Structure 1
């Protein structure tokens, strides 16, 4: 399906892990792509590989004249510029704030923030000449919270959010939409290779394996590149005024299907087997009994538990799953130790917060899964479900053995006192 036929998209940082994935995704759906990057050799090779609908232009995002040349190259090659993906970014060497030098701070903000600012500034007139357009700024989940030892990067991504909202207000009347996407951990060299000036990679400071999404390839909607063409297309073809979307509208749920893909040998349904759901309102029960078509967003909840050491209330974000007729919390592939598991072992009573679509605060109790047969059956269902092709955007393992050390707890929902 050529959703972007006769559309021209400029992608900055277009030779990197995410950047090249964005380029290939747009190209696969019919777009003319302009690859902007400072890596001339890799950029030219990628353009040659993709053929006549691809161009490489050397682009230093911190240099306004370089931006002007890139936009001119896009218009000269393909007649108009219809979308900009501000993807170029760098990470700082990990260090506490007091040990971070000003040169590092300035370099990170120059590329991540000033580069995005200059892109919007220079591309806006070209998008206006095209009649309408879209700008997608690639931020980060680090732009939604704090992360120790990465102050310059975190600050830059928070600032990109504010810049994006301001640009959307200014450009909306010209039918130019501006949005951010906040990727989580994606398995690219960005997390597995040291940042400039560092001797260790991000992955050396914590294990991202339970959370990392495999590197995106092509235009496959199952991979993390998929939101970029999706958001861009909606904006190019339907962009009027200012509207900030954080999530796409909910998908219709298939009827008559259990949460997981494995058939129920007893022939009963989930609600009949899980008595702890029977007292819940229908809409909340349906939100918990999510189907195999559910994506990552619908699996994310918060839990409020007591810290095992402090005894204080803590709210944590986690994924939940439905399998074998029950609800489970699972640490994911890799099995890294997590606070939620230790806290629930010490204090099994907690609050289960639905927060996407239906919102509800449900008293619940966690029970460790100690039966090897139950554990094997549940993990097999989870892996089978996450590997389904109709489960877009999900963090998917590829092998059951990757989940051998996963922490697994069964959840029962209690009546309110």
Structure 2
């Protein structure tokens, strides 16, 4: 049985990825820092409390996975939304936390997955970026910078690991329905002096499909990128966002 690891996999997009990989026949491992969410994961999954930005914890996790038989797919999905603020108002600690988890966590996934995937002569690395990693995004400097970095990391991984049969791709979700996006909407509304509904409509109207996307939409793309149907797809930035045209919702 193939094995897939999803970081930040106990809720939201990560949980949807876990469900999709389980339905596709994978043995699923997930990490998270939310103990309550981890406790709600299906019994068939291997769930571990791991901080994706902690080198020691990530190394121990991958050591355990190696003993279990290796890894076919890693979804580096952990990320922190970071503050919604003008750049001069962003605290240094908030910047570091966002970049350490979002970009540093993706790096650690690749660092520790690469040796076992090289030994196997195959593997798929799927990194969760964002439309904020494609556009400049006002009032979201740490998040946007980290997500741009994820794409740069992915492009490098695809080139470096491709000769070993390992593929790397990045998914760029747009506005995803769910609690996390609700928090973003509320913070952005406060920062811009808008209502939550006005910000929501701004996001939706900024896509050609006039819609948010779902966690399941993102999960389905992750499973496809890990599948034989995508065996010649590597180094790609794939948006699942309803085609975002305007990343800065206006009143």
* TM interval, short-chain normalised: 0.7 to 0.9
CA apart distance, 1:338: 7.3
User: How far 1:188 moved relative to its partner?
Assistant: 1.6
Does residue 1:22 correspond to 2:21, yes or no? Answer: no
Task: Report the 3-state secondary structure (helix = DSSP H, G, I; strand = E; otherwise coil) of the residue aligned with 1:160.
Answer: helix
Structure 2 counterpart of 1:67: 58
Partner of 1:256: none
**Structure 2 unmatched runs, 5+:** 190-195
The alpha-carbon deviation at position 209 of structure 1 amounts to 4.9
**Which residue of structure 1 aligns with residue 215 of structure 2?**
216
Instruction: Quote how far apart the aligned CAs of 1:76 are.
Output: 3.4
Cα pair distance change 1:317/1:94, threshold 3 Å: closer
Q: CA deviation at 1:59?
A: 1.4
How many Å apart are 1:213 and its aligned residue? 3.1
Moved more, 38-47 or 164-173: 38-47
Cα distance in 1 between the residues matched to 2:49 and 2:139:
31
2:67 counterpart (40, 60, 76) = 76
What TM-score does the superposition give when structure 2 sets the normalisation length?
A: 0.84
Per the alignment, do residues 40 and 69 of structure 1 end up closer, same or farther by CA in structure 2, a change over 3 Å counting?
Answer: farther
Distance 1:170 1:31 in 2: 26
Partner of 2:192: none
Q: Report the Cα offset of residue 155 of structure 1.
A: 0.4
Residues in 1 aligned to 2:241 and 2:199: alpha-carbon distance in whole angstroms:
22
What's the secondary structure of 1:84's corresponding residue?
A: strand
Distance verdict in 2 for CA 1:158–1:216, change over 3 Å: closer
SS of residue paired to 1:21: helix
Call closer, same or farther: CA 1:225–1:212 in 2, change over 3 Å.
Answer: farther
Residues 36-47 of structure 1 mapped to structure 2, 5 A cutoff: 36-47=31-42
Structure with higher RCO (Cα < 8 A, 6+ apart): 2
1:368-416: CA deviation from partner (whole Å, max 9, x where unpaired): xxxxxxxxxxxxxxxxxxxxxxxxxxxxxxxxxxxxxxxxxxxxxxxxx
Q: What residue number does 2:222 align with?
A: 228
Q: Map residues 26-175 of structure 1 onto 2, 5 A cutoff.
A: 26-48=21-43, 51=44, 54-77=45-68, 79-175=69-165
Contact 1:128 1:174 in 2 (8 A): yes
Q: How many angstroms apart in 1 are the aligned matches of 2:134 and 2:173?
A: 11
Q: Which residue does the alignment assign to 1:317?
A: 245
Distance 1:96 1:147 in 2: 11
Q: Secondary structure at the match of 1:193?
A: helix
Q: Distance in 2 between matches of 1:16 and 1:76?
A: 26
- Tell me the residue number matched to 1:11: 6
Q: Which structure is higher in strand share?
A: 1
Aligned partners of 1:119, 1:69: CA distance in 2, in Å? 12
**What is the Cα deviation at residue 42 of structure 1?**
1.7
Could you list the per-position Cα deviations for residues 42-87 of structure 1 after superposition, in whole angstroms to 9, with x for gaps in the alignment?
Answer: 2132032xx2xx201121111111112222232334x221110000
Shift of 1:214: 5.0
Larger radius of gyration: 1
1:179 aligns with 2:107: no
Residue 245 (structure 1) aligned to one of 236, 243, 249: 236
Gaps of 5+ in 1: 1-5, 218-222, 249-294, 301-315, 319-336, 340-417
CA offset at residue 193 of structure 1? 2.5
2: CA distance, partners of 1:169 / 1:69: 27
* Other structure's SS at 1:317 match: coil
- Give 1:194 deviation, angstroms: 5.7
